Structure formats: structure tokens, C-alpha cells
């Protein structure tokens, strides 16, 4: 994993930020992270968009991992093989036992964060579902078999 | 066993899948029920099939064929990792838990039956089969109401990519059953 150090390597003052914007942005390009100091205190951090995106992505990854951890830990403790790329990469195995895997999944709280294609699942917990009873008509269609065959 | 899957787990504990054999006679044939040796409408033979046809349609005389999903033994998957993904319904990738093989529904063994082995229904492989063979006496397993919630949930994700929680699907089922005056057989205890 690429190292992401968001520690400011240089500082500018409010006055510099206001009066020398060009230089400050060149500093950001060069240094990556610039602290803005005012009256002896750092009250802002400036960084390149690419670094901000990388940090945001890293935070999202950490959140995902946090959701997966209870299952990973439980599987490791129970020594049950689970479908896990991380375990595969680390060489962590376990019993290949469908019963044990099913029991593990049925007992450990898991949070699924992504759909089958890997994209984040939409948040649907606040979607209000309401069942509206309707009267159904039991009448059946009368299909003209000759006409249906003609289309087919 | 717990009354519902833990968190987002796609499936219930395997012992909670099927209505006990001594009670199954009280339950009419429904979506999710398991049959063996099914003849399809085009004359093929399926070792096992799971009904996906809407339950309310099964009793209609005009329904000649029932939509079923082909069911395969877990052993039909030679790859160990794929078998595990089908049993779990999810897999861990890049630190996240994601839905695995959405077109599959894990089918637990029916103890003491001809299908006493772990299986999976292939939601991509839906076929038509003449209705007459789907009678309670021929049924191998009557899916419990709770397990049916997991089936509907899985089916919704596969068909529509709707990711609803177990509770959301169960609440909708509870409302639907509660409003159905023709509902036959024991009701789930989560229906008011």
C-alpha cells in the first residue's frame, strides 16, 4: 500500500496566503501539504486535490475493513475457511467445511458494503417500504392460439 | 437458532431452512419449496428444483407450468473458493464484504431425504415444469417462512439489484401475509 503522509512540510501565514497565492499553490504542488498558521496556531491545512482524494479513498477503505473485521476475526478464531482475498494473500486457511461456514455467517454480525460487481451498495435503510393491499382480478386471458402462432 | 440472520448475512443457519417433516403437511406448496426428480415442460429431467413461481399462482388451474430454478449439488463446483462463496453468499475483497455470485441461492440439505446434501439454486437457470408434479406429497423440503425471506431478498438483488435488509423484506412479507385472507397454512410468528 502506498505511503500517504499528510504531515505538513511547510507553513504559511494568513498574510502570505492572502498576498502570495501563486507562491502558496506552488508550495502545495511541491510540498504536498501546507499548514496555514495564524497567531501561532495552525488553523488550516492545504493539500493537492490528488492527495485529498487519496486520503478520502484510504478512509473509505478503512471503513470497509472495519465492517469486515468481525467476520474475519471470527473466522480466524474458529479456524474456518471463508472466501477472503485478504486471508488468501496472508496464507490464512482453515477448515473447508460448509456447515461451519454457514454457522459462522449465521452467527456473526456482518455488514455487506459492496454489490456483486464491487461497487458500494446504496444506502436503503431509510427507504420506507409500504405494502398497499390491492384487489386482484382473477380473470384469465383468452389467447387466440392461431394468432399467437402467427406472431411467433 | 437466531430468528434471523446475523446482520446482513444472506442466509439462515442450515437447520432453520426447512419445516420439520412432521409439520410439513400443514404447509401448502410455496415458492422456495424443494423437489427432486422434476420433469420439465420440454421433457428434460432435473435431479432437483426450487420453485420460484409466485405462491399465489400455484393453485390457479390456468397455470400449466411452474417456473423453477435448477438446483445443483455443492460438489458440482470443483473450485473450493467458489464453493465457499456460494455457501456464504458473500466474499471479502479489498477489505470489504461484497455479494458473491448473486445468481445463486444456497440450499441447505434436507435431512433424511433424497436431497440430504448441500446444494445451490441457479437463479439464471429457470425452467418451466408441469404443475401437476408439485404436490405436498412429492415435496422434499418446505422452506420455512424465515428462510423464504432470505430467498426473496436474494432474488430481489439478482433480478433488480435492490439491496434490501432482511428486516425490510420480512416486514413487507408480514404486511402482505397479514392482508391476505386466503393465506393457507401456519402463519409466521412475525405476522401481526
| CATH number of the domain bearing residue B140 | 2.30.30.110
> What phi and psi values does residue B37 have, to the nearest 5 degrees?
50, 60
Structural domain spans, chain A: 10-47, 63-107
* Inside any domain, residue B58: yes
Of B2, B1, B52, B4, whose CA–CA distance to B170 is shortest? B4
Q: Which of A82, A98, A131 sits opposite B118 (nearest CB)?
A: A98
CA of B192, closest CA in chain A: separation in Å?
Answer: 14
- Chain A residues touching B84 at Cβ < 8 A: 81-83, 96, 98, 101
Assigned domain for B6 exists:
no
Determine, yes or no, domain membership for B90.
Answer: yes
Q: Give the residue among A77, A78, A5, A73 at the shortest CA–CA distance from A45.
A: A5
Three-state SS at A71:
helix
Q: What is the pTM of this model?
A: 0.86
Q: Is residue B68 part of a domain?
A: yes
The string of pLDDT tens digits covering residues B120-139 is 999 999 999 999 999 999 99
DSSP codes of every residue in chain B? --SS-SBT-SS--GGGSB--HHHHTTSPP-TT-EEEEEEPTTS-EEEEEEE-S-GGGTT-TT--EEEEEEEEEGGG---HHHHHHHHHSEEEETTEEEE--TTEEEE---TTSTT-S-EEEEEEEEEEEEGGG--GGGEEE-B-HHHHHHHHHHHHHHHH-----HHHHHHHHHHHHHT-TT--SPPPTT--
Q: What is the pLDDT of residues B99-113, one digit of tens each?
A: 999 999 999 999 999
Q: What does the alpha-carbon distance between residue B188 and residue B192 come to, in Å, rounded to a whole number? A: 9
The CA-atom distances, in angstroms, between B33 and each of B52, B176, B187 are 8, 19, 16
Inspect the interface and report whether the beta carbons of B94 and A64 lie closer than 8 Å: yes
| Chain A residue numbers touching B155 (CB-CB < 8 A) | none
Q: Per the structure, how many domains does chain B have?
A: 1
pLDDT, one tens digit per residue, over A24-74 is 999 888 878 999 999 889 999 999 998 899 999 888 888 888 889 999 999
Q: For strand A33-38 and strand A10-13, is the pairing parallel, antiparallel, or unpaired? A: parallel
Structural domain boundaries, residue B56: 14-178
Residue among B64, B85, B87, B106 with most chain A CBs within 10 A, to mutate: B87
With left for phi above 0 and alpha for psi between -120 and 50, is residue B133 left, alpha or beta?
Answer: alpha
CB spacing of B95 vs A61 below 8 angstroms = yes
For residue A1, give the C-alpha cell: 500500500
| Beta-carbon separation of B92 and A87 below 8 A | yes
pLDDT surpassing 50 at residue A1: no
CATH 3.40.1620 fits A10-47, yes or no: yes
Q: Per-residue pLDDT tens for A99-143?
A: 999 999 999 988 999 999 999 898 888 899 999 988 888 888 888
List of chain B residues whose C-beta atoms are within 8 Å of the C-beta of residue A130: 175
Q: How far is B155 from chain A (nearest CA, A)?
A: 13
Name the phi and psi angles at B107, rounded to 5: -115, 115
Residue B159 has pLDDT above 90, yes or no: yes
ipTM of the complex: 0.93
Residues in B closer than 8 angstroms to A102, CB to CB, are 11, 13-14, 87-88, 106, 108
Amino acid at each position: 500500500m502506498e505511503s500517504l503522509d499528510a504531515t505538513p512540510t511547510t507553513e504559511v501565514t494568513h498574510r502570505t496566503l492572502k498576498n502570495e497565492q501563486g507562491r502558496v499553490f506552488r508550495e502545495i504542488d511541491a510540498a504536498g501539504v501546507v499548514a496555514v498558521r495564524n497567531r501561532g496556531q495552525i488553523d488550516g491545512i492545504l493539500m493537492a486535490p490528488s492527495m485529498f482524494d487519496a486520503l478520502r479513498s484510504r478512509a473509505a477503505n478503512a471503513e470497509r475493513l472495519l465492517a469486515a473485521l468481525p467476520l474475519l476475526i471470527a473466522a480466524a478464531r474458529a479456524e474456518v475457511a471463508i472466501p477472503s482475498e485478504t486471508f488468501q494473500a496472508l496464507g490464512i486457511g482453515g477448515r473447508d467445511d460448509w456447515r461451519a461456514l454457514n454457522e459462522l455467517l449465521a452467527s456473526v454480525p456482518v455488514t455487506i458494503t459492496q454489490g456483486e460487481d464491487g461497487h458500494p451498495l446504496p444506502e436503503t435503510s431509510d427507504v420506507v417500504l409500504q405494502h398497499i393491499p390491492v384487489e386482484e382480478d382473477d380473470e384469465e386471458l383468452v389467447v387466440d392460439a392461431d394468432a399467437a402462432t402467427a406472431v411467433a | 437458532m437466531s430468528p434471523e440472520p446475523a446482520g446482513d448475512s444472506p442466509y439462515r443457519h442450515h437447520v432453520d431452512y426447512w419445516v420439520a417433516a412432521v409439520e410439513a403437511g400443514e404447509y401448502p406448496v410455496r415458492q422456495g419449496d424443494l423437489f427432486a426428480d422434476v420433469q420439465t415442460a420440454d421433457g428434460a429431467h432435473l435431479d432437483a428444483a426450487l420453485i420460484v413461481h409466485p405462491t399465489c399462482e400455484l393453485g390457479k388451474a390456468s397455470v400449466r407450468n411452474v417456473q423453477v430454478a435448477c438446483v445443483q449439488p455443492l460438489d458440482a463446483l470443483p473450485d473450493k473458493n467458489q464453493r465457499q462463496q456460494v455457501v456464504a453468499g458473500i466474499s471479502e475483497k479489498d477489505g470489504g464484504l461484497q455479494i458473491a455470485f448473486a445468481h445463486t441461492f444456497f440450499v441447505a440439505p434436507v435431512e433424511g431425504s433424497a436431497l440430504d446434501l448441500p446444494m445451490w439454486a441457479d437463479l439464471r437457470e429457470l425452467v418451466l415444469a408441469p404443475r401437476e408434479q408439485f404436490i405436498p406429497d412429492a415435496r422434499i423440503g418446505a422452506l420455512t417462512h424465515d428462510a423464504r425471506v432470505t430467498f426473496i431478498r436474494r432474488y430481489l438483488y439478482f433480478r433488480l439489484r435492490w439491496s434490501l435488509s432482511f428486516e425490510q423484506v420480512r416486514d413487507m412479507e408480514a404486511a402482505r401475509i397479514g392482508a391476505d385472507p386466503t393465506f393457507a397454512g401456519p402463519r409466521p410468528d412475525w405476522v401481526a
